[in-house]
Copies of this chain bind each other. A is one copy, B any other.
Amino acid sequence: MKSYLECIPCFFHQALRASRIATDDEKLHKQVLDELGALVSEMSLEITPPETGRLVYRKVMEVTGNPDPFRELKRESTREAFARYSAVKAEIEGSDDKLFTAIRYAIAGNIIDFGPTGSFDIDATLEQVKHQDLAISDYPAFRDRLSAVSRVLYIGDNAGETVFDRLLIEVLGKEVTYVVRDSPIINDATAEDAVEAGLDEVATIVSSGSDAPGTILRLCSEDFRRRLDESEFTLAKGQGNYESLSGDSHEIFFLLKAKCSIIAADLGVAQGDVVLKGINL
């Protein structure tokens, strides 16, 4: 997915919020915005938002001198998600279609995001799961394809959301490889965050080889690209992965909540809608 002009003001919002999380020094907040201003002319609409997002958040880290502004917020998100683990597990186990229910909770977990929105209500979102239909549902294809494979490549998104990914992985009953970002970017899950969510107990954790808040293949490691090429079944969580992989030629199932109006428009759904969309099926 290409970028839109609306992404530019949004990146300024995001950079300001991230700067304030990274440091209390207001001079540095302004300096981040100043330096971002100088980058606007380089923000091509032909590249995907996560590619620009990577530059924006690296700028925040560089100017504030904080290499991982979201460290504590990520840890807190994981703790908060874990506090709901048993209740959601019971909901899934007690449902008629465990796979579908687990998918819906995994999508709900995608609300935990400090990027485009910056604020969220986990409990309200988990409650909403029970009655919100998927605006796009390729579930029948998802279920059929899944039944024919033994291994799943699961491209993660945010810390905390990882706990809901774990619940889905427990239902999948497959040999899962869970892909994380190579180093900190926004609140995206790294290997450390995945381990904190106990994903090492249910999957093999591997890095995408990139610090982009999405999966930009030319920035990923050769190892990850080989895994994607060889994957029998690929699932990708969240906006960043959708934005960077929606034009890809692999068969991929995207599970996400359309948190911004631009992505919602790209998907042809309303902002806030939840989506299970397969490409190249």
Contact = CB atoms under 8 A, between A and B. Distances in A.
A129 interface: no
Interface stretch (A1-9, A87-95, A183-191, A196-204): A1-9
Count class of interface residues, chain A:
20 to 34
A123 interface: no
Interface in A110-153: none
Contact of A9 (B13, B34, B38, B41): B13
Contact of A8 (B16, B38, B41): B16
A45 interface: yes
A199 to B, nearest CB: 35
Interface string A1-24: 000011011101100100000000
Contact of A40 (B6, B26, B37): B37
A26 B4 CA distance: 10
22 contacts: A5-B26, A5-B29, A5-B30, A5-B33, A8-B12, A8-B16, A8-B33, A9-B9, A9-B12, A9-B13, A9-B16, A12-B12, A30-B45, A33-B40, A34-B41, A36-B37, A36-B40, A37-B37, A37-B40, A38-B38, A38-B40, A38-B41
Given A37-B40, A38-B41, 16 more contacts: A5-B26, A5-B29, A5-B30, A8-B16, A8-B33, A9-B9, A9-B10, A9-B13, A9-B16, A12-B12, A30-B45, A36-B37, A36-B40, A37-B37, A37-B39, A37-B41
